[in-house]
Amino acid sequence: MVQAVGAISPAGRPQTSDPLAGRVVVIDPGHQLGNHNFPAEINRPVPAGGFTKPCNTTGTATNRGYPEATFTWQVSRLLAKRLRGLGATVRMTRDSNRQDRWGPCVDVRGRAGNAIDADLKVSVHADGSYARGARGFHVIVPPDRAPWTDDIAAPSMRLAEALRAGLLGKRFAVASYVAGGDGLDVRSDLGTLNLSDVPTAMVELGNMRSAAEARVMTSPRGRARYARALVAGIREFLG
C-alpha cells in the first residue's frame, strides 16, 4: 500500500539488519493525472519561497499521450517498494494517480518531510522539451538563498550528485539541452525545492518528447531501471 505524507508505514519499524533501517525518505511523484480537470484549483497561487506560483501544472506527455503524471507515479511506486525492502520508511506526497483528483500543490510538496525530519526528499519528474535532439536526464537543486534554502543547499547538491551517479551507473545519459552539460541545474523558482527544510532534489528523468526516451519510459523494464538508478543514488547519499 502506498503511503501518503504523514501516514504510518504498515511494515512497522525496520529491522536493524536492513541497510536503510531508521532512514526516512520522501518521494514526490510529479503532478497528478487529473490536474487538467481542475484548472481553477491548480492555477490558484500558493507560496513558493518568497513569491507565489500556481498550485500545480498538468505536466507533459509523450507524443503518443503517455502522461508524465503516470510515468512519475509508476517509477515512484517501484522506488518506494525497493527502499522499503531495504528498511527505509517512505512517505509519498500523493497516494493515487486518478482523473478525479488534483495536486497536491507545490507548497504542500515543498514542505513534505519537514515535520518528520526526513533524511531527504526526491521529486520525480520528466521533461517535455521540443528542442531539436533534446534528450537525457538532469537533476535540479535549490541555490544558497537565505532565508529559504541556505541551510540545505550544500547537502542538496550532494544528493543531486549522488542521484546523477546512480543514473549514469544505469546507463542513462545527461541532458543534451540543459546549460552546463553536467546533468546538474540550480534553480530558485521551484516551490517544491524552496520550501524544503531537508536535503532535496528534483530529477527530470528524461525528455518525454524524445522518441527514444519515450520507448524506455513506457516500458516496464525501463521504469524499473530508472527506479534502480534512483535507489543507487539515494543509498550513496545516505552512506
Q: Which of 41, 68, 161, 204 is catalytic?
A: 204
* Distance separating alpha carbons of residues 92 and 225, to the nearest angstrom: 20
160, three cell numbers: 543531486
Q: What are the distances in angstroms from CA 185 to CA 29, 70, 192? A: 19, 24, 15
Residue found by looking up cell 546507463 in the block: 171
Phi, psi of 104 (to 5 degrees): -70, 165
CA 136 remoteness from chain centre? 16
* CA nearest to 74, candidates 20, 108, 30: 30
8 Å CB contact between 68 and 59: yes
Question: To the nearest 5 percent, what fractions of the chain are helix, strand and coil?
Answer: 35, 20, 50
Active site residue 204: yes
Catalytic residue ranges: 204
